[in-house]
Amino acid sequence: MAATGLTREQSFKAFDGYQYVYNHESETVGCKMKFGVYVPQKAEKEKVPLLIFLSGLTCTEQNFITKSGVQRLASKYGFIVANPDTSPRGCKIEGDSENWDFGEGAGYYVDATENPWSKNYRMFSYVNDEFYQLIIKNFNVDVNRIGIFGHSMGGHGALISYFKRPGQYKSVSAFAPITNPSKVEWGIKAFTKFFGQDELLWKQYDATELVASYHGPKTRAPILIDQGSDDNFRNKYLFPERLIDAAKKVSFPIECREHEGYDHSYYFIMTFIEDHFKYHKEEFEHIK
């Protein structure tokens, strides 16, 4: 399939398909953006489901594709898996590179409203509009079977994308997500810069707030969340119980599995990622 507006940077045969890295000029965030996309052999002949994976703080498009073992599963289950970068790059905004938890590599998947961030830091629109359409346009995607998942900051990104865009994603899951960013140090720091002091804006990008007012279609099985018990970030930044409690109040089904001994790393992700494929596959199979 010809890729329009895309420049291929890397191509690796992996299992029965190809792991690609492309770049493109993004109108939404105003810079060149890279992404990874695995295309299984099955997609040469027919439209296949798409999973979008959002990565955590400090990641580029490389971490997930080199460390998670996703290619074996994307090949086995016959899914296209696309993963964008975690922020705009090279915009040279003062303060975008001083901290590992804010700015480059740390866009938090929101659309900033405050200067100087509002011009480029529009990762919510980038992921859910431009990137989403770009993948559909350029790869053999079954548009009725698109799910989203992510890790840590990207778990937050996946959850808010699901809740803010009812029906756009048929399924959502997360590894160790930041569930309540407007109430934890990482999120407060970033949201103050991106949105100023208006905490109403903050809440529009907070899964624990969003689930309470969500009225869109629900997934068939509970949303799958995996959390390691030895994750150093768990009790300072992640708080899965806050999302679960908020979801319970509105009878929204979430399954949070706590895994003894696992941490926040890709070793944790590689261990449980096949269960996420099974969850999304199960959701997709029940779509008419």
Nearer to a second copy (CB atom), residue 21 or residue 51? 21
- C-alpha distance from residue 60 to each of 57, 107, 155, 207 (Å): 9, 11, 15, 23
Bond prior to 116 in cis (omega within 30° of 0): yes
Nearest to 251 by CA among 285, 218, 205, 284: 218
| Nearest approach, Cβ of residue 10 and a second copy (Å) | 9
185-244: which residues touch a second copy (CB under 8 A)? 228, 230
| Nearest approach, Cβ of residue 71 and a second copy (Å) | 7
**Per CB under 8 A, 152 contacts a second copy:** no
**Per CB under 8 A, 77 contacts a second copy:** no
**Per CB under 8 A, 79 contacts a second copy:** no
Q: Segment near a second copy (CB under 8 A), from 8-16, 86-94, 113-121, 151-159? A: 8-16
Question: Which residues are tagged catalytic?
Answer: 152, 231, 264
Residue showing tokens 């399924």: 171
**Per CB under 8 A, 171 contacts a second copy:** no
Nearer to a second copy (CB atom), residue 63 or residue 204? 63
Nearer to a second copy (CB atom), residue 20 or residue 169? 20
**Per CB under 8 A, 268 contacts a second copy:** yes
Q: 50 forms bridges with which residues in the sheet?
A: 80, 146
**Per CB under 8 A, 262 contacts a second copy:** yes
Q: Segment near a second copy (CB under 8 A), from 1-9, 68-76, 100-108, 215-223? A: 68-76
12-51: which residues touch a second copy (CB under 8 A)? 12-15, 19
**Per CB under 8 A, 271 contacts a second copy:** yes
Q: Segment near a second copy (CB under 8 A), from 63-71, 131-139, 184-192, 277-285? A: 63-71
**Per CB under 8 A, 60 contacts a second copy:** no
Nearer to a second copy (CB atom), residue 168 or residue 271? 271
Helices (runs of H) and strands (runs of E) counted in the chain: 10, 9
**Per CB under 8 A, 67 contacts a second copy:** yes
Q: Which of 113, 114, 270, 282 binds a second copy (CB under 8 A)?
A: 270
Residue type, 233: F
Which residue pairs from 13-17 have beta carbons closer than 8 angstroms and sit at least 24 positions apart in sequence? Answer: 14/38, 14/71, 14/75, 15/40, 15/71, 15/72, 15/74, 15/75, 15/76, 16/40, 16/41, 16/42, 16/75, 17/41, 17/42, 17/43, 17/71, 17/74, 17/75
For residue 25, the tally of other CB atoms under 10 A from its CB is 12
How far from chain centre, in Å, is Cα 190? 17
Q: 67 forms bridges with which residues in the sheet?
A: none
Residue 225 DSSP symbol: E
- Binding-site ranges for a second copy (CB under 8 A): 12-15, 19, 66-67, 69, 71-72, 228, 230, 261-263, 265-268, 270-271
